[in-house]
Amino acid sequence: MALQVRATRMELLQLKRRVKLALRGHKLLKDKLDELMRQFKLLIAEYGGARVSLEKELHKAYGQFLFARAAMHREAMDDALAHPGARAVVTTDTRRVMNLTLPVFRVSIEGAVRNYGLFDTPPELDEALGVYRHVLPAIIRLAEQEKAITLIAHEIDSTRRRVNALEYVLIPDYESAISRVRLKLSEMDRSNTTRLMKVKEMADAKREIAIGGHNT
């Protein structure tokens, strides 16, 4: 729907100011969108590599755990794992990217994961728990990256909608309104000029009649 505007010079001046402001806002949002896309691509690349590496480590740990489970009775396995000696502590922080607040997770592991007798358990269980301890920070880091990816993707979508609204709706509407006001003002100027010329012709004619009357 076309903007409803008045055909006045003041309105034309205001429209010019608005389109100038809209163009400036469009450039800022476009720059923001480009930077968000750059950050998003970097994060996706880092996330993809980290996930592949983590899945390999977890697959290795799971294989060792299956060997240990096969070598032990169910009760012995449950007893060995019933009283863990390690404790993981996760702390949270934030970092800023553009106008976004992204999460930062840090994990510290206290104590020993092997809190059982070595003579009653196979070495595969030690290996599996050692891998799990090693990859836990990577799991927490992956969760941090997934949350950041979700937030940046949402912001990219929101920013792109605003860029498109300015580029394809608001700015064209302003420019169309400016053209209409200019056309209307031009028509009004021509009409005023024609009217003034007619008034001048009438005044000249009256003056000529008056001069002719004096001469007779």
CATH fold of 9-174:
Helix Hairpins (1.10.287)
Task: List all residues 6 or more positions away from 128 whose beta carbon is below 8 Å from its beta carbon.
Answer: 61, 62, 64, 65, 68
Tokens representing 62 are 């799971």
What pLDDT is stored for residue 1 in this prediction?
Answer: 58
What's the predicted TM-score (pTM) here?
0.73
- Picking from 165, 29, 174, the residue whose alpha carbon sits closest to that of residue 98 is 29
What pLDDT is stored for residue 34 in this prediction?
Answer: 95
Contact assessment for residue 117 and residue 124, using Cβ atoms and an 8 Å cutoff:
no
Distances (CA, A) of 133 to 39, 71, 85, 129, 176: 30, 22, 12, 6, 64
Per-residue pLDDT of the chain (216 residues; tens, 9 = 90+): 566 777 788 888 998 999 999 999 999 999 999 999 999 999 999 998 888 988 888 888 888 888 888 877 788 777 877 777 778 888 999 998 888 899 999 988 887 777 777 667 788 888 888 888 888 888 999 999 999 999 999 999 999 999 999 999 999 999 988 988 888 888 887 887 888 788 777 776 777 777 766 555
Rounded Cα distance between 188 and 38, Å, is 51
